[in-house]
Structures are given as C-alpha cells and as structure tokens.
Amino acid sequence: MLSIKNLQAKIDEKEILKGLNLEVKAGEVHAIMGPNGSGKSTLASVLAGREDYEVTNGSVTFEGKDLLDMPAEERARDGVFLAFQYPVEIPGVSNMNFMKAAHAEMRKHKGLDPLSAKDFLRLVKEKSALVELDGQLANRAVNEGFSGGEKKRNEIFQMALLEPKLAILDETDSGLDIDALRIVANGVNALRSPERSFIVITHYQRLLDHIVPDFVHVLYKGKIVKSGGKELALELEARGYDWVKEEVDAIENV
Amino acid sequence: MVEEKISKSIEFSKSFSDHTSALSGQNPLLVTEVKNKLETYDFPTTRSEEWKYTRTTRISSEAWNIVRDAAAVDITPFLIPNLEADHLVFVNGFLRKDLSSQQFENGVHVSQELQNKNLAEPINVFQAIHTAFCTDVLSIRIDKNIQTKRHLHILYVNTASQNIALPYVECIVNEMSEFKLVESFVSLNDDKSFSHRELFLTVAENAFVHLDKIQSQSDNHFLLNDENVSVKGNGNFTVNTITVDGGWVRNNLHISLDGQNIEANLNGVFFPRKKQLIDNHTKVDHRFPHCNSNELYKGLLDDQGSGVFNGKVFVHPDAQKTNAFQSNANILLSDDAQMNTKPELEIYADDVKCSHGTTTGQMDENALFYLKSRGLGEDNARKLLATAFINDVLMKISNLHIRDFVTNELVSRSLIFV
C-alpha cells in the first residue's frame, strides 16, 4: 500500500529525514517510536503533504501513485489521513460544516453525490459515539475551546467519518489521561480492518498496550534504525532509548 | 494657486449649476450662503490627513449631471426575500414615490418636509456641494412609544451615466420607540456614477435603532456616505456597514453619544478587490458618563484592492465610566492588496475602560493545511476560512432574512463558502 524509499527531507535548511525506508501493507499497523527530535512528526507531515518541508531525495508510493507529487487535498481524497499532534483551532467554522464539506469532497472523488442532511446527521451520530464525543461538539467551532482529550477524540471522529485507507496518528496519545487514551484507542481499534493500514507515531509504549501493532520501528536521526515486533516496544519501555542511540552512534563513530 | 483652487468646485458643479437644491425649501439662507462661497471649498488632496489614502481626483475630474429619471425601474432584484418591509426608493438621488410603499406602519411618518431645518454647516467640499445642489429630501419620523414590526428599506439606485445623486435623509426616532432601518446602495448597470447620501439620525431617550447598510455597486460607481447620528440618554444604536462591492466607497460615520447609559455598536465588513477602494472613517464621541461603544470592522482584501480604516474614539472629560472597545482585523489575500488602518483614541477622562486593536495579516497557513488534509481544495479551504473570519461581523446582523440575503450576496460573488 505504502512504500517509502530513501526519504530525505528538510525544513529551513535543516535536514530531518536522512534516508528513511518503510513498507506498509494493507491491514498492517506500524508503530514508529523514537526519542524527541528524531523526525517522527516530520515523517507524518511529509506524508500528509505539508509544504513547509522540502523533500530532497527518495520516493513515496501510495497504491502505485507518487504521493509526493500530489497536493495535500488529493492525498486526503485518495485515502491518506493524518491525525494531528496539535489539531488546529478554527474559530467561526463549525465542526459540522467542516466535516460536511470534507465528506462531500470524499464522495465527489468517488463519483458520488453528497449525503442528504438527514443521512449525514445519522452518520455523525454513529461515528461520534465511537469516540464517546458529545454531540454538542459537532456544532461548536472546530477545536475551539476543546480540551486536549476532546481535540484528539475529534481527530479520531474525523477519521471514522472520512474512512481513510491509510491513517497516520501523530502522537495522538500525547497529553491524554488514561480514560481518554482508552477511548481514543478503542475508536482506532474499531476502525481496524484488512484494508486499512495505520502508522502510529508515539513516544511512549502505553498507547501500544491498547493499539497492538504488527511492527515497531525506531526512528533516530532521521532513519529507521531498528525494527521488530510488538515486543520491541516493551523493550524500549523497559530500557529507554539510550541503548539504541548508543548502538547507532557507535556504528557512526567507527 | 488660488485661482486654480477657486475654479475647482465651481468647475465641478458647472454642468448642474442651475439645479435648485432640494434644501432651498428647508433652509434657503444656508443654501444661498453655501452657494455664494462654494469657491472657497476645494477638493482634498492626499496631503490632508482625512484623505491620506483616498484619492478624490477621479471624482473631481469628472463632469457629472443631475438626472431625474421617471422611467420604470424593476426593484425586485434588490428586495430582501421574506423580509417584512416597507420601501422607499431613490433613483439618481430623487425619491420615487411611484416605486415606494404608499402606506407605512402606525406611528411611522414619511414626508419631504424636514423636522430639523437648522442644517449643519458644510465642513468639506463634498458637503458644500451636497447642500448647494441636494437632489431630494426625505424625512422619517417615528412617534414615541412605537415598536415597529416591519423594517423600513431605503433603496438607492443609479440609472444614468455620469449621474450625480445627492439625497438628504433625516430620521428621527422618538422616545421609547424601536425602529429597524435597512439601506441598500445598488447599481443597475456599469455606468459611471457618483452618489453622496447624507443621513441625519436622532435616537431619542430610551429609543432603539438598528441600521443595516448594504453597499453593492458597480466598479464604476463612486459612493460617499455621511452618517451623523445623535443618541440620547439610555438609547441603543447599532449600525452594520456591509460593503460587498463598489469601485470607490467612503463611509464617514459619526456617532455622538449625547446622554448617559447609551450603547452604540458599529460593525463593518468590506471586500475590496480588483481595483476597488473601500474606506471606513468612524468617529464616536463619548460626551457623558456610563456609555458603551463597541466597534468591530473586518476586511478581506484581494487583487489590487485597497482598504482604509480610521476609527476615532473621543472620550470627553465628563465621560467617566466609559467603556469603548474598537477592533479592526484584516486579511490580505494577495501581494498587491493594501490596507491602511489607523485607530485613534483620545481620552480626557480618567476612569474609563478603552481598548483598540488592529491586525493585518495573511490567511493562517496552519488552518489552511488542516482543512486541506481533510480533502478540501485550496479554493474552498480559503473560502471557508474567509467565512470564519467575517462570521462574527455577519452575526451582528440580527435579522435572519437580512443576514441570509447578505450571505447569498457574498456566496454568489465567491467571497465566502457555506
């Protein structure tokens, strides 16, 4: 589904990704862990199409298409979804109108007419129940005055509504208390399917107790330096990142 | 130099110099006096602080004519759907009774005889020309203790090329009454025309007045609006100035708070684009204690459009416990758009709460990316953010039908997205 080869990217002349490789097949859940500043969020932003980042080398293929060649909105319409680490507050735009417009775009892309107001409302109700999101939030301005937990749940709600093929969760667990974490994870798990893939970016292992990954990768200095199964996450939790850093730095110093 | 100055305002009015001012019948002395010294008024240059960013040469260098047009005009496209309203229609600055409502609500008196004939002395060349050559006079009076159910909708239409329209409107809302006024400034075609509407509005003690101004004229139209509003004690006045379109628009809004415990709200939104110029000059005089004024103006500027905002708030020495808030926010959508904004607060009382703020920036790229990451195209994402930006001003239009009408005007021009 997704094939990342030798991806290199920079922002403001600072190189962040330095040759990243990753293969994601349909239905797989990949966790990407790593210390602060290793390039985790950059990877998420580059995949979603944020223009602040300049890709200097490498390729990203999504379902056979050159993803890097597509503007952000086309990536979204083709089924790439980014759950933001810091969801943006947009005063004046209601969550409902935003999602209505987004959902209509997705349907248009598939050659379908927008849902009727009634059907859309039913869908919103169904999907917001998935993340235990109060129906009132749908009528409020996008993320404005939402608590940290509500913002993250809103991201998962949007994901549930837009039904992407590839969902990238960028530190969706950061700033969540244990209850909110459980709700978010349950929402994600409910959306797991043989067709849908996830890239779960996280700093801590605790999210992976709830969303059990097929693969765990460690990102350090802009590259994936270690890959393994879900037990790698437990090892990282127990031992921290220092031993991985030391291994990599030792090789570099040789 | 002096010779040139003298000729300018005389030259300007030459083609309509034989027109008898409609104000002659109200205050012949003043009209004669102003006519006699017309030559002493000159058009402002950009050296004048009041007109620093707004050139008037495109008006002063044209030859204009006063044109009375008796032809049928279809006003239905300009009416506000579902709004319960009575209408008054000006064509080329002349009140057209045949196009206007014949009857008005109980307590609402419409005439062409001014209540207040003690007219103000002109303070600039435009006002002098207006006094000397006023095209028509309208007086609206609301009796005491009247809560009007229907809106009064005044339409200003221009039909003729090179036409100058100089209507004078007086509106007196007496004690304890409530009155809702809408004014639409529209163009029937792309012909070059100029209109200068003078409004004198009195909001008496405990009266409530809501005014929505909708300006949507052609790129070849020049529109000058002077509003002189006096609000008495315990009065409540709101004005929303919505400038949808217009080649050259200047609004001079002056609100004088002439009593205690008054609330005044002045809001505006403007969309200069192409080569349009939209200028809002506002002035609020706090003369007595315990009054509130709230001002919110927003601009979305595109292409080579330019905007001007100048908001003056004077808090006079007696006006203790004043609350005066002013805000002007603008978004530039293109590199060539230009916004000149200047808040001016002068405070001579020591126990007051006053604030002003002005921002001019670009569209929030973070928010734009967020919307696009959910599948919205660049164009719709920008429009959605534009909608969000101006939404709080549109919400000040309290009547739903008028708000819907304005929203539709903006949507049909692809300015916002709903």
Q: Render pLDDT for B43-61 as a digit per residue (tens, 0 to 9).
A: 998 899 999 999 999 999 9
State the smallest CA–CA distance between residue B364 and chain A in angstroms: 9
Q: Which two tokens stand for residue B272?
A: 């200069």
Higher pLDDT, B248 or B45: B248
Minimal Cβ distance to A162: which of B369, B374, B417: B374
Chains A, B: CB contacts under 8 A, how many?
75
User: Is A56 in contact with A68 (CB distance < 8 Å)?
Assistant: no
Look at residue B248 and tell me whether its pLDDT is greater than 90: yes
* Chain A residues within an 8 Å CB radius of B368: none
User: Is A135 in contact with A110 (CB distance < 8 Å)?
Assistant: no
* Chain B residues within an 8 Å CB radius of A48: 373
Q: Render pLDDT for B134-182 as a digit per residue (tens, 0 to 9).
A: 999 999 999 999 999 999 999 999 998 999 999 999 999 999 999 999 9
Look at residue B3 and tell me whether its pLDDT is greater than 50: no
Choosing among B364, B365, B374, which should be mutated to test the A contact, i.e. which has the most A CBs within 10 A?
B374
Backbone φ and ψ of B322, nearest 5°: -80, 140
User: Is the CB of A112 inside 8 Å of chain B's CB atoms?
Assistant: no
Mean pLDDT of chain B: 95
User: Is A8 in contact with A42 (CB distance < 8 Å)?
Assistant: no
Instruction: Write down the pLDDT at residue B364.
Output: 92
State the smallest CA–CA distance between residue B376 and chain A in angstroms: 6
For chain A, the farthest-separated pair of C-alpha atoms sits apart, in whole angstroms, at 65
* Chain B residues within an 8 Å CB radius of A162: 374-375
Across B69-98, average pLDDT: 96
Instruction: Write down the pLDDT at residue A174.
Output: 86
B245 burial type by CB count under 10 A (0-12 exposed, 13-18 middle, 19+ buried): buried
- For B159, other C-beta atoms within 10 Å of its C-beta total 17
User: Is the CB of A71 inside 8 Å of chain B's CB atoms?
Assistant: yes
**Start-to-end C-alpha separation, chain B:** 55
Which residue of B lies nearest to A83 if distances are taken between CA atoms?
Answer: B373
